[in-house]
A = this chain, B = another copy of it.
Amino acid sequence: MNISLDEICSFLKTRNNFYILTHQYPDGDTLGSANALCRALQKTGKNARVLCSDKIPKKYSILSRGIKKQEFEADYIISVDVADTQLLGENLLKYSDKIDLCIDHHESNKAFAKMQYIEGSSAATAEIIYELINLLGVKIDKQIAVCIYTGITTDTGGFKYANATPRSYRISADMLEKGIDACSINRIMFDTKSRSRLEIERQVLDTMEFFYESRCAVIHVTREMIKKAKANESDIEGLASIPRQVEGVLVGVTLREQKDGVFKVSVRTEEDISAAAICENFGGGGHQGAAGCNLPYDLDVAKKKIVDAVGFAFKGK
């Protein structure tokens, strides 16, 4: 059942003992939203607790500062920024069919809760939580502001993605006025790299090749490279954006070796080149600017096939 923010407000005011669930592989928005709401509820005298299936990465420790560790049994279960119960992760899956209230900004939300508030136009769930806390009449203190700002800045890629709206900026302005150190938050969230990430980036840059008068750049990541760098999934995230960053490159291609030896290919394009059309040659697909496909060949063959397809896409341009 879809409910309004006012109805959520009444619900929260008249109940107690809330567990607030985040999604697995937690990010700044799910943790920022959960901790902001938890703190707001605690400030109104309620019992509230944030649960996450995974260990919280160290950089997010700024979000739970000042949260009281309360031991209690939940009467009500809330999920924030969780689009699908599958995303709760192993340790929280037991709550899948017990979620009373779901607050989320993913249009794709599976509507798994008894009550839900989904606002797809919000860049971050934290923006919804900001409105909700105001409606609850709880004063946004510096610690809540840290959580809200972190949710917004991380989900907008530091205000770089197309999802950032005037509201994202205006709420952030309000949060700055609560005395947060936005500079330090952004440094923690964006400018810190693990040594493994650094090592994998170094290796990946060594593989970069250019084709078609440097309008196409190709990198690859093998399992051997990942092993050497001791890299995990999050260390490898976003590597596919590297080739297209090079000046003059219209098509950036990343080949990543999977466990079964198949190469997973990511294609990123500029202007009027369709990434989806390139990948459809191999049974893949995606969007105009970003698409993917799988190539079950060894590296050299896979690279030649995708580079040829890029060449075909350039023809007649």
**Which residue of B has the minimal Cβ distance to A208?**
B198
* Chain B contacts for A169, CB-based, 8 A: 169-170, 172-173, 176
In the complex, what residues of B have CB within 8 A of residue A206's CB? 202
Within 8 A of B (CB), among A175-230: 176-177, 181-183, 186-187, 190-195, 198, 201-202, 205-206, 208, 214
CB of A137 closer than 8 Å to a CB of B: no
Most buried by B among A169, A173, A190, A214: A169
CA distance A206 to B187 in the complex (A): 23
Q: Would you give the shortest CB distance from A174 to chain B, in whole angstroms?
A: 7
With A194-B247, A245-B191, A247-B193 in contact, is A159–B182 under 8 Å at CB?
Answer: yes
A198 with B205: in contact, given A166-B176, A183-B160 (CB under 8 Å)? Answer: yes
Complex contact A160–B205 (CB within 8 A): no
The size of the chain A interface, using a CB distance under 8 A, is: 40
Q: Considering only CB atoms, which chain B residue lies closest to A196 in the complex?
A: B247
Is the beta-carbon distance between A205 and B195 smaller than 8 angstroms? no
A283 within 8 A of B: no
User: Does residue A164 face the partner (Cβ distance < 8 Å to B)?
Assistant: yes
In the assembly, what is the distance between CA of A194 and CA of B172, in Å?
Answer: 32
Taken residue by residue from 152 to 172, chain A's Cβ proximity to chain B (1 for < 8 Å, 0 otherwise) reads as 010000111110111101101
Task: Decide if A135 is an interface residue (CB 8 Å cutoff).
Answer: no
Asked if A246 is at the interface of the complex by the 8 Å CB criterion, the answer is yes
- Which residues of chain A from 50 to 105 have a CB within 8 Å of any chain B CB? none
Residues of B within 8 A of A186 (CB): 159-160
Please, which residues of chain B bring their CB within 8 A of the CB of A173?
Answer: 166-167, 169-170, 173
Residue of B nearest to A204 (CB): B202
Interfacial chain B residues near A246, Cβ < 8 Å: 192-195, 198
Note all chain B residues with C-beta closer than 8 A to A165: 176
**5 closest Cβ pairs, A-B complex:** A169-B173, A166-B173, A162-B183, A202-B205, A160-B186
29 of the cross-chain contacts (CB-CB < 8 Å) are A158-B159, A159-B159, A159-B172, A159-B182, A160-B186, A161-B183, A162-B183, A164-B182, A166-B173, A167-B173, A169-B169, A169-B170, A169-B173, A170-B170, A170-B173, A173-B173, A191-B245, A192-B247, A193-B245, A193-B247, A195-B214, A195-B248, A198-B208, A198-B245, A201-B205, A202-B202, A202-B205, A202-B206, A205-B205
A: residues with CB less than 8 A from B are 153, 158-162, 164-167, 169-170, 172-174, 176-177, 181-183, 186-187, 190-195, 198, 201-202, 205-206, 208, 214, 241, 245-248
